[in-house]
Structure 1
Amino acid sequence: MSRTLADTLSAQVTGPVLVPGDDGYDDEVAAFNLATTLRPDVAVGATSTQDVVAAVRAARAHGVPLVVHATGHGAEHPVTSGLLVSTRRLDAVHVDPAARTATVGAGVRWAAVAAAAAEHGLAPVAGSSPTVGVVGYLLGGGVGPFARSHGFSSDRLLGATVVTGTGEVVEVSAAAHPDLLWALRGGKHGLGVVTQVTVGLVAMPELYAGSWTFAAEHVEAVVRGWLAWTATADPDTTTSLAVARFPDLPVVPEPLRGRTVLHLRFARPGDAATGEAVAAPLRALAPVVADEVGVLPVSETARIFADPTEPAASWVGGALLTHAEDDLASAWLAALGPDADHPFLAVELRHLAGATSLDVDGGSAVSGRSAAFSLGVLAVDPRAFAAAPDATARALDALRPWLADESNPNLCGALAPRWHPWTQQRLDDVRHRYDPDGVLRSTGPTNPTNPLAGGEEG
């Protein structure tokens, strides 16, 4: 079947069509997360929307599932059969400075959009990592360093070119197929193969941002102080913290090797004087090991989080929290603090609310509008991956009084996303409308078993 399908597609598409054992197959299906194995029966490297049309129609005709190999961080779960479409060759970027928009292909990462927009004094409302793919990130909502000041990144999704599950091409906008635009703003998987998007850009002439590093002995003071500070935080300021326990290994930079540190990130669009005044209480929470907060070019926002840019093995989990107070700090420190027994390299809290709580005109399917914080855990040692799900479940159980019923697909990692029941039903209806035969499948988590179980089913 795979050879027959590959031969059929080879005559119809411009890009490569590969099966296991072919030269180039392993590179075509390689995932950013090296712990994820993708071994589809057939891989298609799309070079155009028409290549995607041919792939979808062939998958439908042969009765095989189709998954999209998104650009950037991509798949979290293995693919062992079916047809996989890689979008990395769809890499065009066009900025319209008058309209303040960028039209980009599905193979584009945020770094390319930021660079193109900066030439016109504009910026995308992007994620924390420059290597994240634009389309996959937007389809999940997208929480970046400007979440509180500018909302979910998907709020600026203005239009898209989509190949439906029946192999039809639709141009989506607020005027055409508004139901699909609503779903693409946060609905994530199974809505069609997006080959191009148009997003709104923003003017951000000044930015005061960066991160502080605190030593292990000050983690509790900083966590409690930061959570208290967020209660009255400036709505234009987005902050987050991460506690990292670095192993004593040669691959870790010498200053961090064998150490536990806390990184507190800060981003506020606007003038330096106001930013410095807003940041002053955080800077004073404890003695600072490294202070990298100051005036930052918008084109260098990746420095705020300094996320890894090279593929690596990882296990990620996450949840949303409804509120915070000192009791949350106590529970979080006991479950995930520097002295807690868990397998994670890093544990994170991000402050949301602000603009993320305001829905966009026309509405959206994004999950997490009512959340005040997000929680994330990261394991990078493959020997710890087996223990990570149970450890995450224990941590979430300890934090149950603060857990939201929803979970966001971009933030929950290996756990199953959860939408409000009304949103989930509408998403199911849209998926069936544009993919009636269920041709399109997900490379993300779909297992309904979730440590958040006990709330409303999403």
Structure 2
Amino acid sequence: MTDFTPLREATTAPVLTPGDSGYATELLSNNRFWQHTPEAVVAVTSVDDIAAVVRFAAEHTLPIRVLATGHGDESAITDGIVISTKHLLGVTVNPEAKTATFSAGTTWADIVAAADAHHLAAITGAAPGIGAVGYLLGGGIGPLVRSHGISSDYLTSLTLVTADADIVTADAATNPDLFWALRGGKGGFGVVTEATIRLVELPALYAGNIMFAEEHIEAVLRGWVDYTATAPASVSTSVAIMRFPPLPELPPFLSGKTLIALRFAFPGGADEGAALVAPLRALAPSVVDSVRPMGPMDVPSIHEDPTDPAPSTGVGGLLSSVDHDFATALLGLVGAGEDIALVSVELRHLGAAAAVDVPEGSAAGGRIGAFTYYAVGILAEPEHVPTVKAACAELVTTLGPWLSPQTMVNMTTTAYLDPVEFAEAWPPAIFDRLATLRVEYDPTRVFPYAPV
């Protein structure tokens, strides 16, 4: 067992080991199924704390993993040191430069609020409570993905602690190869402590969520498939077939019900937006229709994703296309009247701005995908794992003819464990360059990110 006394003496941050008060709380993940039990977790509050942890880990040959909100957890951490960044908070907006600089533990909700105070908007993810840094390192597909592109394209600078405990900047002029890698290459390069993103003006937004009852799932799904074939590049949409458990805290129209939700986002005025969404509204009578004029503060709420932690697992990836044969196959598995251990199966329309890389290039994968898919099952008890995993596997098999040969690392769930799936998260040339840079920046694998 490692003696952490020297680390405690080298930093003012709490160094917690099993049995210490606060150890389990510090390791809580948004995915409550996974119980992390590393040798130690360090609740860092400064860049110097992180550098001290990296030096100690390198000297003692201990792997380091980083935990913020834990939205991407798909396995338990049982060794080494976890650096918890949830206490590294803060956002500073430069309204003249139209940028936001934020610390590693900051969530999108705080960034959006800070930007909104200056009448600016961040190109965020779909969940306000997710950690912005982890999301951005993997690319990021948000509610405005077709009109504004992949979220990591808005990164302008990052600060990180590398494997040799150096504190470095990565931007277009300083360490440009590292900057390229961090915009979509995910982990294995160091611990990001701070990031700066470009903000945008969003003077008008017409967006929201329309829900339809179970008997309309087929009509809505097929109608959405047709709609995406000619949708303008300014419109981002997605659909999700959802099975809500019978819980008293849910409203009656959701509790115990199966519905299909259709999400719509258009960065423009209400009149044009209403005309663009009209064909979707006409697909069937709605249960809920929240599509309306919104402000930048509302962007992370467009999808109305759940915000509470839950024990879950899922599967996701990219699709090359969808058509009515695809709809028939999917409906046969998760449509009206079907019984499957998945609470949500979501499809998002890509293309348009998402397919275009930044001029200087980035490591973000998935630009060839036309759609994403992501399915989630709840693991209320350990015995639910085989059933949910089987449902995930059946979904992948069903979608086989439409799967893209490449995916995006944020859309996968087991890429960190499976070398084949990991390699498919980027085009081959990008994957090879990332592998070279990981060896260059972390030759002793202090950060054991890649499963190779």
TM-score (norm: length of structure 2): 0.95
Instruction: Show the 5 A alignment for 1:124-163.
Output: 124-163=122-161
Q: State the match for 2:80 in structure 1.
A: 82
Q: CA deviation at 1:248?
A: 2.4
Q: CA deviation at 1:17?
A: 0.7
8 Å contact 2:29–2:69 — kept in the other structure?
no
Counterpart of 2:400, as a letter, is R
8 Å contact 2:93–2:114 — kept in the other structure?
yes
Say whether residues 1:409 and 2:416 are aligned partners.
Answer: no
- Once the two structures are superposed, residues 117-155 of structure 1 have per-residue CA deviations (whole angstroms, 9 ceiling, x without a partner) of 001110100011110101000011010100001111000
Counterpart of 2:385, as a letter, is F
Instruction: Show the 5 A alignment for 1:245-394.
Output: 245-383=243-381, 384-394=384-394
8 Å contact 2:39–2:80 — kept in the other structure?
yes
Q: CA deviation at 1:350?
A: 0.5
Q: 1:175 aligns with which of 173, 176, 179?
A: 173
Q: CA deviation at 1:76?
A: 2.4
SS of 1:387 mapped into structure 2: helix
- Once the two structures are superposed, residues 314-355 of structure 1 have per-residue CA deviations (whole angstroms, 9 ceiling, x without a partner) of 112101001121111111212332333421011111101111
What is the count of residue pairs matched by the alignment? 443
8 Å contact 1:243–1:338 — kept in the other structure?
no
C-alpha distance in 1, partners of 2:110/2:354? 25
Q: CA deviation at 1:179?
A: 0.9
C-alpha distance in 2, partners of 1:57/1:298? 41
8 Å contact 2:314–2:392 — kept in the other structure?
no
Stretch moving more, 301-310 or 279-288: 301-310
Counterpart of 1:340, as a letter, is E
Q: State the match for 1:192 in structure 2.
A: 190
- Once the two structures are superposed, residues 36-91 of structure 1 have per-residue CA deviations (whole angstroms, 9 ceiling, x without a partner) of 11111011111111111111111110011111112452422100111110111211
Stretch moving more, 245-254 or 139-148: 245-254
Q: State the match for 1:60 in structure 2.
A: 58
- Once the two structures are superposed, residues 350-391 of structure 1 have per-residue CA deviations (whole angstroms, 9 ceiling, x without a partner) of 101111000012211111101010011011143433222332
Counterpart of 2:429, as a letter, is W
SS of 1:199 mapped into structure 2: strand
SS of 1:256 mapped into structure 2: coil
C-alpha distance in 1, partners of 2:426/2:388? 23
Q: State the match for 1:427 in structure 2.
A: 434
Counterpart of 1:422, as a letter, is A
C-alpha distance in 1, partners of 2:188/2:334? 34
Q: State the match for 1:452 in structure 2.
A: none
C-alpha distance in 1, partners of 2:286/2:308? 28
C-alpha distance in 1, partners of 2:451/2:194? 29
C-alpha distance in 2, partners of 1:338/1:55? 52
Structure 2 unmatched runs, 5+: 416-420
C-alpha distance in 2, partners of 1:226/1:293? 16
8 Å contact 1:33–1:313 — kept in the other structure?
yes
8 Å contact 2:242–2:345 — kept in the other structure?
yes
Q: State the match for 1:456 in structure 2.
A: none
C-alpha distance in 2, partners of 1:74/1:393? 19
C-alpha distance in 1, partners of 2:300/2:360? 30
SS of 2:106 mapped into structure 1: coil
Stretch moving more, 215-224 or 381-390: 381-390
Q: State the match for 2:418 in structure 1.
A: none
SS of 1:397 mapped into structure 2: helix
8 Å contact 2:213–2:259 — kept in the other structure?
yes
- Once the two structures are superposed, residues 86-135 of structure 1 have per-residue CA deviations (whole angstroms, 9 ceiling, x without a partner) of 11121121100010100100010001010000011101000111101010
- Once the two structures are superposed, residues 409-428 of structure 1 have per-residue CA deviations (whole angstroms, 9 ceiling, x without a partner) of 21123454422221111111
SS of 1:338 mapped into structure 2: coil
Structure 1 unmatched runs, 5+: 449-458
Counterpart of 2:148, as a letter, is H
Q: CA deviation at 1:310?
A: 2.0
8 Å contact 2:215–2:336 — kept in the other structure?
no
Q: State the match for 1:453 in structure 2.
A: none
C-alpha distance in 2, partners of 1:296/1:90? 30
8 Å contact 1:44–1:84 — kept in the other structure?
yes
SS of 1:224 mapped into structure 2: helix
C-alpha distance in 2, partners of 1:208/1:320? 26
Counterpart of 2:17, as a letter, is V
Stretch moving more, 260-269 or 241-250: 241-250
C-alpha distance in 1, partners of 2:294/2:86? 30
Q: CA deviation at 1:11?
A: 0.9
C-alpha distance in 2, partners of 1:303/1:113? 14
